[in-house]
Amino acid sequence: MTNRAARSADLAKGSHGLAKDHAPHDFTKGLASHGLAKDHAPHGLARASRLVPPAGPQRVLTLAQLSNSVGDGAYYVTSALYFTHVIGLAPERVGLGLTVAWAIGSLVGVPLGGLADRRGPRGTAVLLALATAAAVASFLLVRGFVPFVLAACAYASAQSGLAAARQALLAGLIPAGERTGLLAHLQSTLNAGLAVGAGLGGLALHAGTRAAYLGVFALDAVSFLLCAALLLRLPPVPPVAVRRGHGLGVLRDRPYVLVTFLNTVLLLRMPMLSLGIPLWITERTEAPAWLVSALFVLNTGAVMVFQVRMARGVTGLVTATRAIRRSGLVMLASCAVFALSSGASPWVAAGVLVAGAVLQVAAEMQQSAGSWQLAFDLAPADRMGEYQGFFGTGVTVARTMGPLVLTALLVGWGTPGWLLLGGLIAGASYGMGPAARWAAAARGCGRSHHSGGTRPAAAIPS
């Protein structure tokens, strides 16, 4: 048990470097080339058209996502060791600083999204991409805890605002029927970029020098500069007229708040992959510790290959809530399978864990597609950035509170904890249907295939 506890402690410490549980959550990948014969060219072109977004705004948005996700991937795998080993901060202080930073960032994201509505999402997104690049570069100058917290707050705030502004930009440029498919491409691109970036970060970890770590942060800063340049190539989306009398803003929209809350519960799957399952494997099963990495690769690869296909049938409120209900049942089954791995022999436990991971990623892809569509259809067209900034707070809350919940349930309670977690997610998935209908009725948009206006809500994965 001593070795097992040591392994889990190492994994828990390492999770601080994965600020995004991609999982991730904010898009497409795996767009491999196909060596087809000439007489199969039409079939190949049709297949490629389903994998690669068409030329125009969709492809530019995808390239922008790819550019900064490569930098982020390198940052995520090296940042914790840079802050602790190079700067010399205690791991506990790094965790505290990042928690404070992302809490502030989630709050700031809502007014920054409102700014994108009032000033235009393209210009706001470009400025926030530049601000993110500057915030990443500022980490190169950090030498103590207070400057670290200030830099982290700037980084988290700029990232949260950028996500909201890009969501509003996507909503203004992409027709309603094409948005969920594009978001699936973006999710797949995100995973591909993170994988490439993680490989580059691994080279820096292997070198282990200060210069190598600084090179990673410089790469991430440059990736956001490239993102800003790509976003400038998009056509502008005009700002919307500001309506007075919103008071508490999105918080007054109780149906939308409920939908966001239920989505936050569904997002407990994010820390499950990065923290819950690793701790379960090392604390409660006899499976080899390297299986943690294998399951992460399995999840990432599955999203790369299948996310676009899984999202294809989600076209409106009805199909979105149906996909979310299915995801809840599949996630419940996944939790039950994970629970069966306790007490089994090492290789039996490994096989059971792989089966559970397959179910988990299938549920993840269905839930993602359904949530994206709801975020499209349930927010008002003239307050896109504000609403999507609020919807995005669910990711931060799940990442912040999820580790506490999952540690208590899975490590503390064991099998009953898995079943309770699965039941909680399944219950939230079934509650999403009535909540979405309430929100649609309140918005006056109770149709299933599109939302009115030229700018219905969109949610770019983060």
pTM of the model: 0.73
Supply the pLDDT for residue 242.
Answer: 59
Supply the pLDDT for residue 239.
Answer: 85
Neighbours of 138 (CB within 10 A): 18
Distance CA 147, CA 153 (A): 10
Supply the pLDDT for residue 14.
Answer: 38
Distance CA 16, CA 76 (A): 9
Contact 263, 394 (CB under 8 A): yes
Tens-digit pLDDT profile for residues 404-442 = 888 889 988 999 999 999 999 999 999 999 999 999 998
Contact 370, 431 (CB under 8 A): no
Q: What is the mean pLDDT of each run of 10 residues along the chain (462 residues)?
A: 40 38 35 32 41 81 92 86 88 85 87 88 95 96 93 93 90 82 87 86 87 93 96 90 61 93 94 85 89 84 90 90 97 97 94 97 95 88 83 85 85 93 97 95 58 38 39
Q: Does the N-terminal peptide bond of residue 333 adopt cis geometry, omega within 30 degrees of 0? A: no
Supply the pLDDT for residue 399.
Answer: 78
Closest CA to 262 of 358, 106, 165, 397: 397
Strand partners, 128: none
Distance CA 300, CA 361 (A): 9
Between the alpha carbon of residue 297 and those of residues 35, 158, 290, 361, 448, the distances in Å are: 25, 29, 11, 11, 35
